[in-house]
Amino acid sequence: MSAIRPRRLRETRALRRLTAETVLDAAHLVLPMFVRENAASPVPIASMPGVVQHTLGSLADAVADAAVSGIGGVMLFGVPATRDARGSGAVDPEGILNLATRVAVTAAAGALVVQTDLCLDEFTDHGHCGVLDERGRVDNDATVEVYASMAQAQAQAGSEVLGLSGMMDGQVTAVRAALDGAGHPDVALLAYSAKYASSLYGPFRDAVESTLIGDRRSYQLDPGNRREGLREALLDLAEGADMVMVKPAGWYLDVLANVAAVSDVPVWAYQVSGEYAMVEATAGQGWIDRRRAIVESVRAIHRAGADVVLTYWARELAGWIRTGDIE
Ligand code: PBG
């Protein structure tokens, strides 16, 4: 009979609560939100049950509600009515994402952080995250120049954190310089440092009505590459990223743990649309307990080292955290 009994600390609910290593907190959850240009009413997204493309009006209401719920922030994505080869809607101050940012900043009233996705894929007619060269390849340096203008437009609209999700080399340096030069030294950069070319973005591409033909493997990471994920994070830290991210989250917890072990800035993880859809679909069949699966999936991401989790369940989780319904 052993005197060493780890089970002692699991005996009662109060002991388990006292000794829990990973504590969920609404302040460290961020809700991604979609806003559709010219939408008359919110549009449901078939592959993401419970998530909608907002109108500017429904966005305002949802952001105000998110602020009351105690979550830490919202991350905005725009769905423009028209697209072109250079993604002009992204740099237009009247483009849907920049309009939405103004609406969200007003609705948030300082209670949560308003953030924006800084990438061209929603705005280009070919669906790539950058502009193309004459051979049809994504042109790194030309793209980074557009990102710099896009960053200025987003900062001007009031975004406080720019999510650099395009995976172009040197994008953090270029965007930082552009913001500093335009009088926005306080706008923070969240680098999607280790963003993998994942099947799990499928539902998101429905959500933004992506026109992409082909794939993003010439700029997003190969799912098998762990060391390269760490390299990308170290480069972004050296370029002055204020925060770094690993994406997707659940299938990349090893990369997340590696990045968390070396990062001297907050580490984020994005629980992406496919992660959401898999749980919703399975729970919809009655094959797993929906609430427990959601709580466990987000807790696991925090356990692996994420300080902040971007998740489509942020608002719902905040409610469960408040009522203590997270066991
Ligand atoms: C690119 C971007 C994508 C996602 C977030 N930002 C799509 C992609 O890289 O294809 C995916 C997020 C999700 O799946 O929830 N702007």
Residues 13-26 pLDDT 10s = 999 999 999 999 99
Distance of CA 318 to the CA centre of its chain: 17
What are the sequence ranges of the domains in the chain? 23-243
**DSSP conformation class of 129:** S
209-266, pLDDT tens digit by residue?
Answer: 999 989 999 999 999 999 999 999 999 999 999 999 999 999 999 999 999 999 999 9
Query: Could you tell me the pLDDT band of residue 298, with boundaries at 50, 70 and 90?
Result: very high
For residues 123 and 92, give the distance between their C-alpha atoms in angstroms, rounded to a whole number. Answer: 11
The verdict on the CB of residue 165 being under 6 Å from ligand 1 is: yes
Q: Is the pLDDT of residue 202 over 80?
A: yes
Residue nearest to atom 16 of ligand 1 (CA): 119
100-143, pLDDT tens digit by residue?
Answer: 999 999 999 999 999 999 999 999 999 999 999 999 999 999 99
Question: Out of 36, 86, 176, 195, which one is annotated catalytic?
Answer: 195
What CATH class has 23-243? alpha beta
pLDDT at 2: 80
Which helix (H) or strand (E) segment holds residue 92: the answer is none
For residues 251 and 249, give the distance between their C-alpha atoms in angstroms, rounded to a whole number. Answer: 6
Query: Could you tell me the pLDDT band of residue 327, with boundaries at 50, 70 and 90?
Result: confident
pLDDT at 60: 98
Helices of type H across 40-138: 56-69, 96-108
Q: Is the pLDDT of residue 1 over 90?
A: no
188-200, pLDDT tens digit by residue?
Answer: 999 999 999 999 9
| Cα 77 to ligand 1 centre (Å) | 9
Pocket test for ligand 1, best of 30, 51, 116, 121 (most atoms within 8 A of CB): 121
Token pair in block for residue 132: 């193309």
SS (H, E, C) 184-207: CCCCEEEEEEEEECCHHHHHHHHH
pLDDT at 164: 98
Token pair in block for residue 273: 């649309």
| 295, HSE (Cβ side, Cα atoms, 13 Å) | 17
This prediction's pTM:
0.97
CB 48 within 8 A of CB 312: yes
CB 112 within 8 A of CB 73: yes
